[in-house]
Amino acid sequence: MGSSLPLVAGRAYCEPAAVSVNTLMKIRAYNENDKNEVISLWGDCGLTVAQNDAAKDIERKLKVDPDLFLVGVSESEIVASVMGGYEGHRGWINYLAVKPSEQRKGYGQAIMQAVEILLKGKGCPKINLQVRSANESVIAFYSAMGYENDNVVGLGKRLEYDS
């Protein structure tokens, strides 16, 4: 199944009109020139942690479903990002970030809707994501977008250490 977003140079591309949130942000697939700006955005949003090397996370993502790694651009600046993933059973969301000074403008909703469209186009029946239980504002954001607490415990096992 293909993506419902138009393709530009073979990559998914979404104009603001393609999602229901009206923003001045253009959404497009990540490209290598975005790396430093995206890593800086993640740092500004508190998404980088010592045990994860952001550059390695990007390298890994580009090997699997790179079309699900989106950035939002406003006035030539990356103001949002999201990494989607799909392993044939469930979709996953990682690294949703909106520049702090640009939050509450609909950018988070717009880029989430864009990645949801792409995941649905791949046949994804359900999207999962993880949020720290103390992060009430982010939980409220996702709840407003229709995400619900599945009452599951997230477990993890590190197979490779970045640092």
Which residues are CB-neighbours of 27 under 8 A, at least 6 positions away?
Answer: 13, 14, 15, 16, 18, 19, 70, 71, 72, 73, 80, 110, 111, 114
State mean pLDDT over 48-66: 91
Confidence of residue 135 (pLDDT cuts 50, 70, 90): confident
Residue 106 or residue 161, greater confidence:
106
In a domain, 151, yes or no: no
Q: Which of 11-25, 60-74, 83-97, 102-116 has the lowest mean pLDDT?
A: 11-25
The parent domain of residue 138 ranges over 7-144
pTM value is 0.83
What is the mean predicted confidence (pLDDT) over 90-96?
Answer: 96
CATH of the domain at 19: 3.40.630.30
| pLDDT value of position 9 | 38
Asked whether residue 18 is domain-assigned, the answer is: yes
